Amino acid sequence: MQLTPTLSHQTQQKAVQTPNDIVQVNHITRELALGNEQIPILRGVSFAIPRYTWTAIMGPSGSGKSTLLGILAGLDTPSSGQISVDGVDITHMDETKLARFRNEKIGMVFQSFNLIPTLTALENVEVPLFASRNSDRSAARAKRMLELVRLSDRLNHRPNQLSGGQQQRVAIARALVNEPNLLIADEPTGNLDSATGEAILDLFDNLRRELGLTIVIATHDPAVSQRVDGILHLADGLLVEESR
Ligand SMILES: Nc1ncnc2c1ncn2[C@@H]1O[C@H](COP(=O)(O)OP(=O)(O)OP(=O)(O)O)[C@@H](O)[C@H]1O
Ligand SMILES: [Mg+2]
């Protein structure tokens, strides 16, 4: 299903300049060394993700979802195959360039939030701004992101003073502060009760419309399948079913 979200002027311009698929993955494999053995984790996976869609990656524990998301986010490199994000082949990009590319184009939300415990919510959201070329490094943007995730009243709380759902929302605000095109989240509702999980999913739904985002999440949550535009089913390192 193709979406017709409300896009900002800036996002519409970006969309015209690039082809319809934001992610293209061609036959990627990932092997990991365990002692002397090479264990195949991903065994040849190919797919494309259209812009402005919301895709879920589902499959049993150990099927390779997090490994695949790490590669999509440019945090890991495939053993073979090719991956392009936003029209750029990142497969063999050097680490410095890749770090900049990630910082500008990709927002990543980790399952365990990965917030810095000694920093406040606002300071956590500001962190990616310091690594970016964006001249606007003010706290104003970080604040705006925390408003978007409805945490304006918790700016100066540290992670241990926030609930799980609130920490997850700080992690989402941090992932969005550099205005990425692609938001990747690994089991964003995995640690939350079902009502808080639903609220996070509502938030994703709103954000992709407001910000013109493409969202990819790994999930075990059957409620997600009702909301997304496409599902990639992984089993044992292979894409076994794709519904869109
Ligand atoms: N560093 C590593 N060394 C060796 N094997 C690994 C390593 N990291 C992951 N694996 C293996 O890779 C496989 C896929 O792991 P991955 O974390 O991608 O699965 P997943 O689908 O995200 O599972 P879950 O639903 O439990 O999060 C697993 O069998 C795991 O044991
Ligand atoms: Mg995982």
Q: Residue 12: pLDDT above 60?
A: no
Parse the chain into domains and list their residue ranges.
Answer: 9-243
Residue percentage of the chain with pLDDT more than 70: 90
Q: What is the mean pLDDT of the chain?
A: 88
pLDDT at 193: 84
The Cα 230–Cα 4 span in angstroms is: 15
Query: Could you give the CA distance from residue 169 to residue 172 in angstroms, rounded to a whole number?
Result: 5
Superfamily of domain 9-243: P-loop containing nucleotide triphosphate hydrolases (3.40.50.300)
85 beta partners: 23, 88
Dist. CA 90–CA 111, nearest whole Å: 24
Name the closest-CA residue to atom 18, ligand 1. Answer: 64
With bands split at pLDDT 50, 70 and 90, how would you rate the model's confidence at 42? very high
Q: Is the pLDDT of residue 9 over 50?
A: no
Average pLDDT over residues 126-154: 83
The verdict on the CB of residue 42 being under 6 Å from ligand 1 is: no
Averaged pLDDT for residues 41-46: 97
Comparing 17-21, 98-102, 182-186, 214-218, the range with the smallest average pLDDT is 17-21
The atom number, within ligand 1, closest to the CA of 59 reads 21
Phi, psi dihedrals of residue 195, rounded to the nearest 5°: -65, -45
Residue nearest to atom 25 of ligand 1 (CA): 61
Rounded CA gap, 202 and 150, in Å?
Answer: 12
Please give the distance, rounded to the nearest whole angstrom, from the Cα atom of residue 32 to the centre of ligand 1: 10
Confidence band (pLDDT; 50, 70, 90) for 121? Answer: very high
Task: DSSP for 157-222, please give it.
Answer: --GGGS-HHHHHHHHHHHHHTT--SEEEEESTTTTS-HHHHHHHHHHHHHHHHHHT-EEEEE---G
Would the CB of 61 count as within 6 Å of ligand 1? yes
Tell me the residue type at 232: L
CB 239 within 8 A of CB 45: yes
Residue pair 53/21 in contact (Cβ under 8 Å)? The answer is: no
